[in-house]
Amino acid sequence: MGCRTLCFGLLFILFAYYIYIPIPENIEETWKIGFMNTVLKMTSLTAKLFENIGLMRYEELFVILTNLDMTEPISDENITVTDTTFSDIPVRLYLPKWKSQRQRPAVIFLHGGAFVLGSCKNSPYDLLNRQTANKLDAVVVGVDYRLSPQYQFPIALEDALSVVKFFLQDKILEQYRVDSTRICISGDSSGGTLAASVTQQLKNDPVFKNKIKAQALIYPFLQIIDSFTPSHRENEHGPLLTRDIAAKLGALYVTKDEALSQAIIKNKHIPQESRHLFKFVNWSIFLPDKFKKNHIYREPILERFNLSYPALLDSRLSPLLANDSQLQKLPLTYVLTCQHDILRDDGLIYVTRLQNVGVNVVHDHIENGFHGALSFITSPFYLLMGIRIKNKYITWLEENL
Ligand SMILES: *[C@@H]1O[C@H](CO)[C@@H](O)[C@H](O)[C@H]1NC(C)=O
Ligand SMILES: *[C@@H]1O[C@H](CO)[C@@H](O)[C@H](O)[C@H]1NC(C)=O
Ligand SMILES: *[C@@H]1O[C@H](CO)[C@@H](O)[C@H](O)[C@H]1NC(C)=O
Ligand SMILES: *[C@@H]1O[C@H](CO)[C@@H](O)[C@H](O)[C@H]1NC(C)=O
């Protein structure tokens, strides 16, 4: 009894402490976001506790919670929804029911979740993909690529590529009545990494290079070289995604060795011989002044850490490492960035670099936006910001695909 009271007391104090974490002033629904922030941070704390007592690994608690929110493939009056496989990878397929005169556009969507969490069957992604299919009269494919730490880099990317290449076969496009000149690859967060990377790979492949009309990247993660850009500094404690949680979960795509996430937090995870890569992500060159503010550029630290993970230097994990002649080949690109997001500068740098080489880029920057909002568009957890991001993305597709 005494113990239970003590535990509740401690939990209450923690909760009271966390709920007072300041939320940036311009964010709406402050109370709701404060609450979600608190729940997320307490989850992270509990996950660390469980890991320390040997109950489960850190990420497993997040996986359990995310998996509570799975949906069945439920068709509605306009869309037939089916779970199937493309090239042995599970996908959820959204097919408009009505016979249309013309062929349809198609969107392949890669969900976020730090390569560790999530599924296209989670209710927000199901709703997003369903509405995309509905609004655009499009065929939409949600992809359940395999997740880390069980499957590490580059498995998620290879799965995504297999699905896309399977779908792009002439006979499959014909089967679903898809217009092969109106296909978009989309993704949010780590799904944005995959979308950007798949698009780069296909644009370098003579068989597929003309088959992608557009890519849409929603607050994407685009580089692991510099983990201390101005957006990392300003949003270290969230809202929602903190540097700590991002490093702990994200590093699992490369290794289970915790030393890597600790090195990422200190921005000294890149091996000695890789200084030549800094020029691709040098924010003091590529960020517009309004985002640089008074931050002083500091190169990531090379000397002291000696990890050799080739993934860390691979443009398939950091699409920003592609050189200008590769970027030049990219199709019409939509990038959505949020002001209050550690990954904001990844998106901003990509926008600048693509514009510099003449790629057609549409950039939506949301001044009061924050990372992960798109995952809150279904009740009871919906956020106005999530719905706004969803609508911006779908509207862009409607007008451009
Ligand atoms: C089906 O499409 C019609 C016409 O676009 C729309 O009004 C209706 O809301 C759609 N139904 C669903 C379940 O989305
Ligand atoms: C980064 O850019 C600044 C100019 O803004 C330059 O002085 C510095 O040498 C660059 N560093 C690297 C590693 O590219
Ligand atoms: C450190 O790096 C060097 C050169 O890359 C390598 O030969 C050595 O094995 C590394 N040491 C450790 C402890 O990883
Ligand atoms: C750009 O990268 C590609 C692939 O790595 C390489 O073949 C090409 O030579 C590079 N181009 C320049 C100008 O560095």
Q: Candidates 285, 289, 291, 323: which one to mutate for ligand 2, based on the most atoms within 8 Å of Cβ?
A: 285
Q: What is the pTM of this model?
A: 0.93
Task: Indicate which residue of 44, 148, 186, 189 is catalytic.
Answer: 189
pLDDT of 210-234, one tens digit each? 999 999 999 999 999 999 999 999 9
Task: State mean pLDDT over 371-397.
Answer: 95
Task: Indicate which residue of 126, 188, 341, 345 is catalytic.
Answer: 341
pLDDT of residue 17: 63
pLDDT of residue 304: 58
Which atom of ligand 4 approaches the CA of 315 most closely? 5
Assigned domain for 20 exists: no
Assigned domain for 194 exists: yes
| pLDDT at 182 exceeding the cut of 70 | yes
Assigned domain for 9 exists: no
Q: Is the CB of 134 under 6 A from ligand 1?
A: yes
Angle subtended by helix axes 155-167 and 190-203, to nearest 10: 60
Task: Indicate which residue of 111, 227, 371, 375 is catalytic.
Answer: 371
The pair of structure tokens assigned to 202 is: 């296909």
CA of 7 to the centre of ligand 3 (A): 45
pLDDT of residue 306: 60
pLDDT of residue 18: 62
| pLDDT at 281 exceeding the cut of 80 | yes
Residue ranges around ligand 2 (CB below 6 Å): 278-279, 282, 284-285, 297, 299
Bridge partners of residue 361, in order along the sequence: 333
| pLDDT at 286 exceeding the cut of 80 | yes
Nearest-ligand number for the alpha carbon of 134: 1
189 flagged as catalytic = yes
The number of folded domains in the chain is 1
Q: Whose CA is nearest to atom 8 of ligand 3?
A: 306
pLDDT of residue 331: 98
Assigned domain for 346 exists: yes
CA of 308 to the centre of ligand 3 (A): 7
Q: In terms of Cα–Cα distance, which of 94, 138, 139, 144 is closest to 120?
A: 144
Which atom of ligand 4 approaches the CA of 323 most closely? 1
| pLDDT at 238 exceeding the cut of 90 | no
Which atom of ligand 3 approaches the CA of 272 most closely? 5
Instruction: Give the separation between CA 114 and CA 253, rounded to whole angstroms.
Output: 8
Task: State mean pLDDT over 51-72.
Answer: 95
Nearest-ligand number for the alpha carbon of 257: 3
| Residue 248 pLDDT level (bands cut at 50, 70, 90) | very high
Residue 161 parent element (H or E) = helix 155-167
179 flagged as catalytic = no
pLDDT of residue 15: 66
Assigned domain for 15 exists: no
Residue ranges around ligand 4 (CB below 6 Å): 323, 325-326
The domain in which residue 330 lies consists of 76-223+312-400
| Residue 30 pLDDT level (bands cut at 50, 70, 90) | confident
Q: In terms of Cα–Cα distance, which of 94, 118, 116, 98 is closest to 107?
A: 94
CATH number at residue 362: 3.40.50.1820
Assigned domain for 385 exists: yes
pLDDT of 106-137, one tens digit each? 999 999 999 999 999 999 999 999 999 999 99
What phi-psi label fits residue 29: left (phi over 0), alpha (psi between -120 and 50 degrees) or beta?
A: left
Q: Candidates 74, 76, 78, 98: which one to mutate for ligand 1, based on the most atoms within 8 Å of Cβ?
A: 78
pLDDT of residue 241: 94
Q: Candidates 282, 295, 298, 323: which one to mutate for ligand 2, based on the most atoms within 8 Å of Cβ?
A: 282
- 11-42 CB burial, b ≥16 within 10 A, e <16: eeeeeeebeeeebbeebeeeebbbebbbebbe
Assigned domain for 236 exists: no
| Cα angle, residue 332 at apex, residues 179 and 172 outer, rounded to 5° | 25
Q: Whose CA is nearest to atom 2 of ligand 3?
A: 306
- 205-239 CB burial, b ≥16 within 10 A, e <16: eeebeebbbbbbbbbbbbbbbbbbbbbbebbeebb
375 flagged as catalytic = no
Task: Tell me the pLDDT of the chain averaged across its residues.
Answer: 94
| Residue 38 pLDDT level (bands cut at 50, 70, 90) | confident
Assigned domain for 18 exists: no
Nearest-ligand number for the alpha carbon of 325: 4
Instruction: Give the separation between CA 43 and CA 10, rounded to whole angstroms.
Output: 15
Instruction: Give the separation between CA 214 and CA 197, rounded to whole angstroms.
Output: 13
Using CA atoms of 173, 174, 176, 180 in order, give the dihedral in degrees to the nearest 10.
40
pLDDT of residue 35: 86
CA of 321 to the centre of ligand 3 (A): 24
CA of 80 to the centre of ligand 1 (A): 13
| pLDDT at 2 exceeding the cut of 70 | no
Compute CA 317 distance to the chain's CA centroid, rounded to the nearest angstrom: 12
Q: Contacts for 288-291 with beta carbons within 8 Å, 24 or more apart?
A: 288/348, 288/352, 291/230, 291/231, 291/344, 291/345, 291/348
| pLDDT at 41 exceeding the cut of 60 | yes
| pLDDT at 1 exceeding the cut of 60 | no
- In percent, how much of the chain has pLDDT > 90? 82
Sheet bearing 104-110, strands edge to edge: 79-86, 89-96, 139-143, 104-110, 178-188, 214-218, 332-340, 361-370
pLDDT of 288-342, one tens digit each? 999 999 999 998 987 655 667 899 999 999 999 999 999 999 999 999 999 999 9
CA of 231 to the centre of ligand 2 (A): 18
Q: Whose CA is nearest to atom 10 of ligand 1?
A: 78
